[in-house]
Structure 1
Amino acid sequence: MKKLVFLLVIVIAAMGFAWYNQHPEVVKEKPPVTEPNGENPSEPNKPEGPVTHEPEEPVTHEPEEPVTHEPDKNVYQNEVFKDVVVKETADTIIVTGKAQVFEGVFRYALYDGDKVVKESNYQTAGAPAWGDFEITFDKALVSTNPLTLELFVYSAKDGSKINTLEIPIAK
């Protein structure tokens, strides 16, 4: 008899456990806590008296200039440089783009024919991120010879130029 009662209790408990798992929405909520001063700390402080809202001033936004790609602009890229574009102003030549290079450092050289007019390095975000860059040259550096901008990195293995991107610059 004791075994039968024990078995019946286990079956009822198992049925109750199964029902409870199938009906998770039946959950008892804790009663709200009330402080000795009568306030409920779970409710935000409410202002006393009528609530008035002052009208907000209208926010005006200047229209953004549409982004368009000029059809006469060439875009250059290779494995580590992308979206490289050359723009000219009255006094400068501006080269913009993205680079994905080790420690964010690459080199560039501006050639006037075979002569290096300017050579330097550039620091941007390191790989694997694509870091933006903008390189500006004064047009006073330019002569009548063909110009070429070379973007590259030095190999950690042997120090040679790798991932070179040559960009012809029209005058």
Structure 2
Amino acid sequence: MNVKKLGFCIVFGVLMIMTACGTGDQKTENGNGTEKIETPANQPETPETDTPIEDSQNPPKVNDEQSESTAFRNISVSGENGEYVVNGEARVFEAVFFYSVEEGHEYLIEETKVTADEGAPAWSPFELKISIPEDQLPINGTLTLELYEKSAKDGSVINETFVKLEEFGF
């Protein structure tokens, strides 16, 4: 019994040492006599360009984060104070998708059905003209557009994409 525990402790200790030794930067020769420092796979590389990092307080008005969505892309928003135009492309089943607008606590525009010019697999451009009365705009809050499809199987919401229309009071 003690031999098993001792063996386990030795194996565990060796694994811990090997793991600890393998987590730092690795230096390698790159053929011309200089060393290159390789970043481990679990750490992000630092960009070597002078590209500015976007200010999280002032994100761009174009929502190109559709890598997560297979249904919506190239979404842009223009307008303010309750009057918005949203342009983008949709690749949706039978050319149908839905949208709603909420401000965090309530829906200001309930589910609205949209029919695109073409259905999947084509990307079809769309334009939404959204108008919210001034007396319904939040004093402090964010108006968010929710774009989505409904499953042909069970009618559940799929391929949701959220787009910020405007922030108030911040």
User: Shorter-chain TM-score: which interval?
Assistant: 0.5 to 0.7
Identity of aligned residues (%): 36
1:131 corresponds to which of 124, 131, 139: 124
Which structure shows the higher strand fraction? 2
Please give the secondary structure, in 2, of the residue aligned with 1:170.
strand
Tell me the C-alpha RMSD between the 2 structures: 1.9
The answer to whether the 8 Å contact 2:85/2:130 transfers is: yes
Supply the AA of the counterpart residue of 2:94: E
Spell out, residue by residue over 1:20-65, the C-alpha distance to the aligned partner (whole angstroms, 9 max, x if none): xxxxxxxxxxxxxxxxxxxxxxxxxxxxxxxxxxxxxxxxxxxxxx
1:79 aligns with 2:75: no
Following the alignment from structure 2 to structure 1, what is the Cα–Cα distance between the partners of residues 102 and 93?
A: 24
Q: Distance in 2 between matches of 1:116 and 1:166?
A: 14
Q: TM-score, normalised by structure 1?
A: 0.53
Q: In structure 2, what is the Cα distance between the partners aligned to 1:114 and 1:147?
A: 10
The amino acid of 1:92's aligned partner reads E
The number of equivalent residue pairs is 101
Q: Per the alignment, do residues 86 and 156 of structure 1 end up closer, same or farther by CA in structure 2, a change over 3 Å counting?
A: same
Residue in 2 that maps onto 1:67: none
Larger radius of gyration: 1
Structure 2: stretches of 5+ with no match in the other structure: 1-58
**1:164 is paired with a residue of what secondary structure?**
strand
2:75 and 2:89 in contact (8 A); partners too: yes
Question: Which residue in the other structure is 2:13 paired with?
Answer: none
